[in-house]
Homo-oligomer: A and B are copies of this chain.
């Protein structure tokens, strides 16, 4: 079954909102084994909605429309679909009764235009709206399935979960659901990762292999159709094993978790604590670590040492490292080591992680933009630091330096 999602609404074309409905529906359809081939967004305009429906019919056998089900004159989706398919609109009485009661309860007069929301294409399956007033519709004509859903995600999501999935599953024959494994990588770029796996990617049939990158992280998704988890494992595991044999050292998780979440959970499981000292990342590393809900136990806090005074007075970095004749300076391996050890001691943590570098736009201490040192202190072990060269503008350097620091910590946690 090939699906297309048509979102109707001028507010989408004005950029007032993002089409998160298409994302939600695509993900939900993939789960039940239906592939989405196109998304279309069209404004509140009869001619252009007709055009979008005609194009979708030519290339899809499942068309899901979202939006345009409200009470205003701009809400056109059901009217246009009724005209295109030649099915008249009728009142869905239970929806009408619910709406009448809704307005009566609020003591607000129901204006005529609201009646539209209770309309359905005659002969279609009404889809109940748990959280709003507009009824949805599902129907099949000439082998093409049409589903009409409201635009507000609050209304669309329960209708999809509780009504649409069942309606669709009864109409999909001989189709096995999709099963996926996600492998998350750190310390390797998307292109190098793909280079190492290029023969597998080129030769893919079943399972499929999809590498993707976002927010400083790289992942690979392996997907197959299978009758159940065991059947899926039989298909997915050999390919996973092959990938692990080539690039296993960069895999930190086999589920969709961020590196910071993985680290916070791992520290929490082991009952260890972490403190950070940030210079060029300016708080972003701590922000990532505290984005993890329930992570308070492992991450105890730290110091943003944006100036040499704070490095010296708050952290206790020796003055001779920072300034003066022959001093390595704030941006140096030595200072990164000192920051990591100092913050570990100051906060009484098991691990200390530090970042110092030049985020730009100007160079610092005669050192170039993008030069970054990450220090890792482990209680009872020697402190280490690595030098990184990070390209990009200021926000990019901050993000990559933060993620690189997490990667360095993960390397130590593994060993």
- A contacts, CB < 8 Å to B: 7, 10-20, 22-30, 35-43, 48, 51-52, 55, 59, 70-74, 102, 105-108, 111, 113-114, 130-132, 152, 154, 158, 189-192, 194-195, 198, 201-202, 210-214, 221, 275-276, 278, 281-291, 293-294, 296, 299-307, 309-310, 313-314, 346-348, 359-362, 370, 389, 391-396, 398
Say yes or no: B71 contacts A191, CB within 8 Å.
yes
- In the bound complex, what is the Cα–Cα distance between A295 and B1 (angstroms)? 51
Say yes or no: A111 contacts B347, CB within 8 Å.
no
Contact A15 B26, CB 8 Å, known A39-B39, A70-B190: yes
Q: Which residues of B contact A299 (CB under 8 A)?
A: 282, 306
Say yes or no: B282 contacts A396, CB within 8 Å.
no
Contact A18 B20, CB 8 Å, known A114-B191, A191-B71, A307-B301: yes
**Closest Cβ–Cβ distance, residue A276 to chain B (whole Å):** 8
Q: List 24 A-B contacts (CB under 8 A).
A: A10-B210, A13-B39, A15-B23, A15-B24, A18-B19, A19-B22, A22-B41, A40-B41, A70-B191, A71-B190, A71-B194, A74-B210, A111-B192, A154-B396, A158-B393, A278-B286, A282-B286, A283-B286, A287-B287, A296-B306, A302-B303, A303-B314, A304-B304, A309-B347
Known: A74-B211, A296-B306. 13 other contacts (CB 8 A): A7-B39, A10-B210, A16-B27, A18-B19, A37-B42, A38-B52, A276-B304, A282-B287, A282-B289, A283-B286, A296-B307, A303-B304, A313-B346
User: Which 9 A/B pairs are nearest by Cβ-Cβ distance?
Assistant: A282-B290, A15-B27, A283-B286, A15-B26, A39-B41, A283-B283, A283-B287, A301-B306, A301-B310
- In the bound complex, what is the Cα–Cα distance between A35 and B106 (angstroms)? 39
Protomer copies? 2
Contact A14 B26, CB 8 Å, known A190-B70, A283-B304: yes
Say yes or no: A291 contacts B394, CB within 8 Å.
yes
Say yes or no: B192 contacts A108, CB within 8 Å.
yes
Say yes or no: B59 contacts A51, CB within 8 Å.
yes
**Closest Cβ–Cβ distance, residue A79 to chain B (whole Å):** 16
Say yes or no: B37 contacts A38, CB within 8 Å.
no
Q: Which residues of B contact A74 (CB under 8 A)?
A: 210-211
**Closest Cβ–Cβ distance, residue A28 to chain B (whole Å):** 7
Say yes or no: B212 contacts A11, CB within 8 Å.
yes
**Closest Cβ–Cβ distance, residue A107 to chain B (whole Å):** 8
Say yes or no: B23 contacts A191, CB within 8 Å.
no
**Closest Cβ–Cβ distance, residue A114 to chain B (whole Å):** 6
Say yes or no: A105 contacts B389, CB within 8 Å.
yes
Say yes or no: B42 contacts A41, CB within 8 Å.
no
Contact A105 B290, CB 8 Å, known A48-B37, A71-B190: no
Say yes or no: A303 contacts B306, CB within 8 Å.
no
- In the bound complex, what is the Cα–Cα distance between A191 and B310 (angstroms)? 41
**Choice from B72, B286, B309 contacting A211 with Cβ under 8 Å:** B72
Q: Which residues of B contact A211 (CB under 8 A)?
A: 72, 74
- Give A208's nearest chain B residue, CB to CB: B10
Name which of A111, A191, A221 has the most chain B CB atoms within 10 A of its CB.
A191
Q: Which residues of B contact A301 (CB under 8 A)?
A: 303-307, 310, 314
Q: Which residues of B contact A290 (CB under 8 A)?
A: 281-284, 304, 306, 359, 398
Say yes or no: B30 contacts A23, CB within 8 Å.
no
- Give A98's nearest chain B residue, CB to CB: B391
- In the bound complex, what is the Cα–Cα distance between A130 and B397 (angstroms)? 12
Contact A347 B314, CB 8 Å, known A26-B12, A300-B309: yes
**Closest Cβ–Cβ distance, residue A4 to chain B (whole Å):** 10
**Closest Cβ–Cβ distance, residue A72 to chain B (whole Å):** 5
- Give A31's nearest chain B residue, CB to CB: B15
Say yes or no: B105 contacts A391, CB within 8 Å.
yes
Q: Which residues of B contact A158 (CB under 8 A)?
A: 393
Say yes or no: B14 contacts A39, CB within 8 Å.
no
Contact A41 B38, CB 8 Å, known A24-B15, A72-B191: yes
